[in-house]
Amino acid sequence: MEEGHSLSRYLPSMIKSSWIIAACLVISLIAGFILAKSQPTAYQANSTMIIQAGMPGTTFPGATAASTDSLNQSTDDVIELPSRTVLTWIYQNNPDIKAKGFTAEDLSLDIIAMNPSATASTILVTATATKPGDTVFLVNAIASGYQAYKTQNLQEQLTKARADLQTSYNQYKTQSDTLYQEILKINNSADPRISLLTTDRNSIIAAMNQVQTQLLTYPSTVHSDVYILQQAKITDVTSTSKGTTILLVTGALGFVIGLLIWLLMIFLDNRVRSDDQVPEKLGLSYLGGLTSNREIQAGSVSTTGLASQQLADIGMNLRLTGVLPGTWQAPKGAVLLVTSAQPVEGKTTVATGLAAAIARGGRSALVIDGNLRQPGTHLAFGMPPASFGLSGLLKTTGGENLDAAVQRSNIPGVWLLPGGTTMKDSTLLLDQRLPGILAQLRKKTDWIIIDGPPLLSSAEASLLASMSDGVALVVDSRHDKVAVLLRAKAILRSLTDTPIGVVMNRLSRRRRNPYFAVAFAEDAAFDATAPGPKYTRHGATHGDTRGNGHNGTNGQRPEPVVAAPSPSSPNHYGAPVGPGPIRPISSMPMDFPVMQPNPNPPSPFPAPRRMDIAPPQS
């Protein structure tokens, strides 16, 4: 089970990178097709030989063979014939082959030998050339040349055997002549030495006669047991193209190369591809994910279908994983930052869809467009750009209030605080004025969801995280590398102590057991094993304030207090308050009604949008 689970996490990468194999295969086939077209038409012809072991004239003492050895010998000859040694010998001993323009290397490429039958000792030699006449000449020359090669080897063995016997005979004769001369020197028949020398000489003569008799049994010449059964004729030539062979070879080569590159890409792929890799590679809690499906349309809020179910699970997992523990409700509303490491990863989709899911659950939700450099959350609700929004609240010195900035969306129970006009230098204003705004918003709504900027683009996201109760880090499974995500995590961990959870976007859909969530308890064990430097948040002391409207005590989050809404409060933002003295936003609370949750179940059709927008007061 462990091995199957481990392999399953690579399945998305394998599917995602499978195009590499197809691309390499197509490229190799195109190259093979071009190469095949460039090759001239080839012609083939066959010559048949047969092995007849033990035939008269093919053996001599010490080199005998039985007829039953023919089949085994033909198998050996099929391997030996196209070898470089044999073909080089044939090329050197047949000058006509060179005269035809062939080289020894050509023979290695153009000659094929095979056993056409498993029960017969025949050998089929096939030659390929660009001209029919050259094909016939070449295959017959190879067949005759191999026959001559085998005959020469056999003749050399016979000659060596005869020479060895002749050498032995000559040695015996020399010894016999030497003994005879010694006998003549004694010249006394009564001398006993004559008898001993005569006996020795007779033994040598007997051995000499035996060698002579053996020598007479050896033939003077011998030929091989390879016989040409049928030579090729010009009428036997057939035309053939190497195109099919070239395509097969190049296709197989392209497939192998593509497979190797595919495996290398999977091995080097350092992306978070599946939900179960989040705790392992990032050391963060996993809140859930959105699968790649057509229900999620650009410029809209997911309120039905699978996406809405997944967003509802993410909303519940925020509490179950401890990213936003407890039950949050006005006047102690929760602030959640939805951000990502890089742009275009689905932050707005998650932020707006999560707000809609919370509203369907009977809570009120306010979405704040916190990306003041490129405000665009209003587009998801189908609303026009606002001239006065969060940027206006940050810039004002008094007079305007939240009623002039907050807009009611077309989704019951969901409000929007748009970004307003673009601000390129909002960091200091956010630090000074946003805590006061959030403190007042907490009293009026249950959930405040900030659609923030990317973490790695500027300091705004880290600043917003320090003012939030939890952070949802959206990860695009198609692009984000682990190194980038660990860098984003290091920023949050070193600058804030806000709990972080990961939301995976564009996941491959699981057919079975799709739900998965993990609460990861971060401790020194993960920090000790995680790559990269270790970080310590500066300024986090006992009793410090993160600027999120809550006082932190030793890193513990205060228990949220549930307060019932006032019966007399309206279910939307009221009309703008009357004119009064100008007061800074951060120094005096704003007086506006509590946002009420949607009391009725949501309709599958979007409700008519009503916007209670008050123009900025001068």
pLDDT digit string (tens) for 361-381? Answer: 888 999 999 998 889 888 888
Average pLDDT over residues 10-36: 83
HSE (side-chain half, CA atoms, 13 Å) at 522: 20
pLDDT at 425 over 90: no
pLDDT at 130 over 50: yes
Question: Which pLDDT band holds residue 269 (cuts at 50, 70, 90)?
Answer: low
Residues in the chain: 618
State phi, psi for 502 to the nearest 5 degrees. -105, 135
Peptide bond into 418 cis (omega under 30): no
pLDDT at 265 over 70: yes
Tell me the two tokens of residue 161.
């055997």
- The counts of H helices and E strands in the chain are 20, 13
pLDDT of residue 543: 37
pLDDT at 77 over 80: yes
Handedness of CA 403, 409, 415, 419 (dihedral sign): negative
Cα(56)–Cα(36) distance, rounded to whole angstroms?
A: 49
Coil, strand or helix at 450: strand
Helix intervals (H) in 372-529: 377-380, 390-395, 402-405, 427-442, 460-466, 482-495, 524-529
pLDDT at 513 over 70: yes
Average pLDDT, the chain: 79
As a whole number of Å, the end-to-end CA separation of the chain is 68
Q: What share of the chain has pLDDT > 70, as a percent?
A: 78
pLDDT at 209 over 90: yes
pLDDT at 395 over 90: no
pLDDT at 125 over 90: yes
DSSP 8-state secondary structure symbol assigned to residue 422: -
pLDDT of residue 564: 33
Contact 560, 335 (CB under 8 A): no
Average pLDDT over residues 550-568: 37
Average pLDDT over residues 159-177: 92
Closest CA to 436 of 460, 401, 407: 401
Tell me the two tokens of residue 611.
């916007």
Question: Which pLDDT band holds residue 33 (cuts at 50, 70, 90)?
Answer: confident
Contact 455, 341 (CB under 8 A): yes
pLDDT at 101 over 80: yes
pLDDT of residue 304: 72
Cα(354)–Cα(332) distance, rounded to whole angstroms?
A: 19
Cα(137)–Cα(84) distance, rounded to whole angstroms?
A: 19
